[in-house]
Structure 1
Amino acid sequence: MSSSDTMKIAVCDDEMAQRRQLQFLIEKHRPGTEINLFESGEAFLSAFRPGVYDLIFMDILMPGMGGVDATTKIRSIDASVPIVFATSSQDHAMEGYKNRVIRYLMKPFDPIEVGEVLELAAQMKGAQGGVSVRIGGKDMTFSFEKICYVEQSAHTLYLHMANGATLQLTGKLDDIEAQTPDDSFMRCHKSYLVNLAHVKSIDKELQVFEMKDGDSVHIRRESLREANRMLADYAMRDL
């Protein structure tokens, strides 16, 4: 698991030369960055999960699913990940505005502009805050968006992460709850703390949050109404 200051970046472009150039520029500007390369919108979406990436470079014009369609799909499940459109044409400003991209980069890539985008993404990552825990003798910080929900069983905490991993540590759920923002995390049960950004819906019959990754998180009966209100308020923030 990477520490909080290591960025994870995706580059989606059908041309290998463009992928390699961006990879070179990113590594030159921020050595140690984890970079995943994808050659199509379809390949990227099949691997994408909310909270995994700190920045996405998305080529607009690709065979099959283009960058605009891929970005629209990304935004339907992740409202906040920084996305940059890479393009050889200025024709897509409206789509960029609708999908809240943070920048347009014209090809061929300008090293200074790539550097500016990386700095902006790093600032956004730092501004999000996170949860600090001690795992295996190491202090680690995870940005809020990377945590789907936290579960307590006896004295053991399980952090269910956006990348599919589950981290185990000794601690109290109260200590995690104290570090999270009240408008996006809910203590929905004595044993569960949920991140509303990763909730798909509420099943009132089963009294659970249905998570976007397919998991279910229990809601205490007396908190069902509050859960509905918080989820509705959270959804309104992204409109």
Structure 2
Amino acid sequence: MAALRVAVCEDQEEERERLLAMLAACSVENVPTAFASGEELLAEYRPDQFDLLLMDIYMGDMTGIETVERVRQMGESVPVAFLTTSADYTWESRRLSALMYLEKPVKWEKLEETLKLARMKLDNRPTLVVYQGGEVENLPLEDILFLEQQGRQVCIVTRNSGTTTIYGKLSDLLPQLEGAPFFQTHKSYCVHLAQVVKVDEALRCFVMAGGKNVPIRRLLMGKAKRAWVDFLFAQTRGER
């Protein structure tokens, strides 16, 4: 089992070192990377780089909330635990689907619990099972931007700019997506609502994280918009 990749974003050096020391003592194997600001983390951030963000809220010019908003705009659903001295940002942390809300000084037991939850979330994340080259491949649903039928093939486009192409029908894959936030915009397209940035009504498409457009059938435009808005509200309420 691979170690949990943890980003520690804390502007106070003493607190940052304290967190790193506690992480080293946790029973959940982890590999931490420290950042002194949100700007520093974003400058180095790459899709699927971390399994958990430990994010201080009150930092310099860019707050932890603003930093995570930028991460979410990339289509990243990486678990986040906010670190703070007050409960002023409880609603914002729920809106950003925070895993935990840890009050400073962070206690070792709470940090250990957070790592266990992140490990469980990583191990139990749902996947799309496909067959490619005679072998089974499991694609994490959270990484998928959209699926597109192209002739006798289905292209599964992921947020790291990769594409998995298999022979088959989109309709045969849809049952695996039931219960997950996916919406079929057209007979040839199915999008991951968590990866949608906006709806472009003029072009009749969803604009996805990364900038790609996915067409929406004209008769489905209203239903597509409602599905996305409903998803966003559910996310705000902590249901997604």
TM-score (norm 2): 0.75
- Where does 1:203-222 land on structure 2 (aligned, <5 Å)? 203-222=200-219
Query: Which stretches in structure 2 are left out of the alignment for 5+ residues?
Result: none
Deviation of the 1:223 alpha carbon: 2.2
Deviation at 1:117?
A: 0.7
Deviation at 1:54?
A: 3.5
Matched, 1:94 2:88: yes
Supply the distance in 1 between the matched residues of 2:20 and 2:138 (Cα, whole angstroms): 28
> Number of matched residues?
230
CA contact (8 A) 1:9 1:35 kept: yes
Please state how far the C-alpha of 1:9 moved relative to its aligned partner. 3.3
Distance in 1, Cα, partners of 2:49 & 2:147? 17
Name the Cα RMSD after superposition.
Answer: 3.5
Structure 2 partner of 1:22:
20
Sort the Cα spacing of 1:68 and 1:224 in 2 relative to 1 into closer, same or farther, 3 A: closer
Superposed counterparts of 1:27-106, under 5 Å: 29-31=27-29, 35-48=32-45, 53-71=50-68, 73-74=70-71, 81-87=78-84, 90=85, 92-100=86-94, 101=98, 102-104=100-102, 106=104
State the distance in 1 between where 2:219 and 2:3 align.
41
| 2:229 is the alignment partner of 1:235 | no
Length-normalised TM-score, structure 1: 0.75
CA offset digits 1:127-160 (Å, max 9, x no partner): 5523223455653433322211122323333322
* Secondary structure, counterpart of 1:214 in structure 2: coil
Q: SS where residue 55 of structure 2 aligns? A: strand
Note the alpha carbon deviations across 1:158-199, whole angstroms, 9 max, x for none: 32222x231323233223322113562112122211011111
Q: Identify the residue that residue 226 of structure 1 maps to in structure 2.
A: 223
Is the Cα–Cα contact under 8 Å of residues 74 and 210 in structure 2 kept in the other structure?
A: no
Contact 2:75 2:209 in 1 (8 A): no
Of the structure 1 ranges 153-162 and 43-52, higher mean CA displacement relative to structure 2 is found in 43-52
Instruction: Tell me by how many angstroms 1:217 deviates.
Output: 0.5
- Please give the per-residue CA displacement for 1:32-85, whole angstroms capped at 9, x wherever unaligned: x56554331112234557876432101234333232443455567769643212
Q: Quote the Cα distance in structure 2 between the aligned partners of 1:114 and 1:48.
A: 23
What do the CA deviations read for 1:190-230 (whole angstroms, capped 9, x no partner)? 22110111112222332211123211001223322321222
CA distance in 2, matches of 1:234, 1:215: 20
